[in-house]
Amino acid sequence: MASQWVDVRDLKFILHEVFKIDEQLLGKGPFTDYDGETVDMVLESAAKLAENEIAPTYPDEVHGQPVEAILKEGKVYVPEAYHHLWKLYCEGGWMTTSDSPDWGGQGFPEIVAACASSMFLGCNQAFLMYTGLTHGAAKLVEKFCSEELKAIYLPKMFSGQWAGTMCLTEPGSGSDLGPLKTTAKRNPDGTYSIQGTKCFISSGDHDLVENIIHPVLARIEGDPLGTKGISIFLVPKYRVNSDGGLGEFNDVNTGGIEHKMGIHGNATCTLNFGDNGRCIGYLMGAERQGMQIMFHMMNEERQGVGMMGVSLAGAAYLHALSYAKERLQGNNLFTGQRYVPIIQHPDVRRMLLKQKSVTEGIRALCLFCYWAMDQQKVAGTDTEKSKWSGLVEMLTPIVKSYCTEMGLVVNDLAVQTYGGYGYCREYPVEQMMRDQKINTIFEGTNGIQAMDLLGRKLGMNEGKHFMNLMSEGNAHIAEAKGLDSLKDEAAVVETAVNAILATAMDFAGLLMKNPFIPLIAACDFLNCVGDTLCGWFHLWMALEATKGLAQADKESDKMFYLGKIEGAKFFIQRTTALVPAKCEILKKDETSCVRIPEEAFAV
């Protein structure tokens, strides 16, 4: 019976047949000791943990009672089942799948860790946020703390004995961190006294571990206003003695937790640092490098949020598919058969194939970003490293925004497939849709990602990074042109790529003449780039599926490859094909939303 939670077959297809990690990655550089069989064992183990242990903890309401993080007498308690999951997750080494063995990691490629994470996230995002933020905070410690602090903190964070967060947002300083008010005062012993309030801190406080480590943005007294004056500090909930043991409470208090639309099991906290003047922090990196350092973690989290979008979409689609095969309703319009499974109805099939094709496209897009990270590690020249590093820079805002935006489309269609039942908490697609929405908002809203792509990324390295990204698919387009079965799709993708490149050039000129046109179009332009890239990935996957289909003996393999080919045609002809027309619209001088007076927005 097919899984309703994870799609191991598709992950293996992308790894081995599309990206060909056995030839291109495994056995090289830091991955010398790994082979495809070992990778498959990791995927199978991750699937078992996801389905058997994590998925049963997903409902945020059981027998009418909420399953959520709660604040009681100043302490935060997570759902009871999370304690067992945390133990299993940490003991299984999943916190450090791709990290250095020097700190207890397993050293697998980033793309392998991402595949495992995708299965976990689709089964309970709220729980996985505790692990993801811990890992991100630990990586900051690894990169920017002294050897002394690393020796104390890293083993306990990577092992899951301690947890971590990311503390940026304040009540008056959200997406724009320039007005940040949290202060740091130098102490004679080299530490800093931290004072201020942070809000919307995911996993900010909980009872899973004995200590929580907070990277905190603050302004050292006397430093300039704005983002250039911000530094970053390592602030433990409990102070740590020189021998690594816990010391006194570090004056980090939880002021409240948010009551949210989704991710109820994750504690989204307001944290008060130094209310009693006894909060101590340790400088990470150098003074006034806070934003630069924090973006190392922020980019990792943005890529992770993109994967959250993919994962919830994937799980929702699998649930909708299973339901559509079982739910009996209506007549088959062509055979006349009565009371048939709803998967036989054309519009339901349309919704399902759109869910399938979108999910598989954004999954490939997201994993390609991790693939690019791994390619940096095995690159033989500085030029190659620079190329792959540039692709990661370009892909990060697209992965975060497009994968969550399109993931929400899939979740919406999954609910629609169930009909009225999908709107009820009896079925998990309702919760999946609620959980998915936050992914378009946090770690920088999708609008901010679009501005990042337009205002920063397109022009990086004189536009070469963007050109490299958009030309990555040229070989696959050329190959597909030689096949009668895919030549039409190849032409569509090629036309979309050219439209994107032309629009990027036009926007560069418009930013100097009438900047409102590209600024208003930024989100739609990013989505057009995503539609084009996913068209390329579908073409790439269809090419490999065509080869696989010609060699397949098992009926299940034939059906899998056929599904990849038909899904590619559906996405390319119904989504990528619209890109050129959309690009023409985006360049029009239509700026009503900035011309309209504020008073005219009212009824």
Would you name the residues annotated as active-site residues?
A: 443
Angle at 396 between CA 284 and CA 225, to 5 degrees: 45
- Rounded to whole angstroms, how far apart are CA atoms 202 and 126? 9
Q: What is the DSSP letter of 99?
A: S
Phi/psi at 79 (5° precision): -55, 140
- Rounded to whole angstroms, how far apart are CA atoms 566 and 100? 41
Residue 79 φ/ψ region, left for φ over 0, alpha for ψ in the -120 to 50 degree band, beta for the rest: beta
Instruction: Give the tokens for residue 143.
Output: 């990169």
Contact present, 311 and 125 (Cβ < 8 Å)? yes
- Rounded to whole angstroms, how far apart are CA atoms 38 and 29? 17
Locus of tokens 């301690």: 162
- Rounded to whole angstroms, how far apart are CA atoms 352 and 354? 5
Q: Which 3 state secondary structure label does DSSP give 160?
A: coil
Instruction: Compute CA distances 148 → 23, 144, 151, whole Å.
Output: 39, 12, 5
Bridge partner residues of 193 (DSSP): 185, 280
Amino acid, single-letter form, for residue 55 = A
Query: Alpha carbon 389 to chain centroid distance?
Result: 18
- Reported as half-sphere exposure (CB side, CA atoms, 13 A), residue 381 has a value of 3
Q: Residue 544's closest CA among 7, 3, 12?
A: 12
Phi/psi at 455 (5° precision): -85, -25
Contact present, 34 and 27 (Cβ < 8 Å)? yes
The H-or-E segment that residue 238 falls in is strand 238-240
3-state helix, strand, coil in the chain (%, to 5): 60, 10, 25
Angle at 101 between CA 97 and CA 106, to 5 degrees: 25
Q: Which 3 state secondary structure label does DSSP give 523?
A: helix
- Rounded to whole angstroms, how far apart are CA atoms 577 and 495? 8
Contact present, 302 and 400 (Cβ < 8 Å)? yes
Say what angle helices 346-378 and 555-574 make with each other, to 10 degrees.
90
Could you count the other beta carbons within 10 Å of the beta carbon of residue 350? 13
Contact present, 85 and 53 (Cβ < 8 Å)? yes
The H-or-E segment that residue 216 falls in is strand 211-220
Contact present, 99 and 155 (Cβ < 8 Å)? no
Could you count the other beta carbons within 10 Å of the beta carbon of residue 384? 13
- Rounded to whole angstroms, how far apart are CA atoms 281 and 225? 20
- Rounded to whole angstroms, how far apart are CA atoms 568 and 485? 12
